[in-house]
């Protein structure tokens, strides 16, 4: 669809994401969220998905929060609270 980009960054469930995936992920996050939007512009979003939804996707989201200064424990708790 128009405006949707798909990034495929596979890594094994239960493992840490490799450095190249972390770099690509954080680059995407900075590109989407650090750009100043005009008042009439629709904000962009990032959807993250993995097969099980229990390890890989939440880890990437937590990394983004932590990189922005959130306490690691708070990041995990925040993600858990949104999954329930």
Active-site positions read 13, 50
- CA 42 from centre of chain: 19
- The torsion region of residue 10 among left (phi > 0), alpha (psi -120 to 50) and beta comes to beta
CB 46 within 8 A of CB 29: yes
């Amino acid at each position: 669809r128009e405006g949707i980009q798909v990034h495929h960054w596979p890594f094994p469930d239960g493992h840490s994401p490799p450095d190249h995936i972390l770099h690509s992920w954080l680059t995407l996050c900075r590109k989407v969220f650090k750009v100043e939007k005009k008042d009439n512009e629709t904000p962009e979003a990032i959807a993250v998905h993995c097969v099980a939804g229990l390890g890989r996707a939440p880890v990437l989201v937590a990394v983004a929060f932590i990189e922005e200064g959130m306490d690691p424990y708070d990041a995990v708790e925040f993600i858990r609270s949104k999954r329930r």
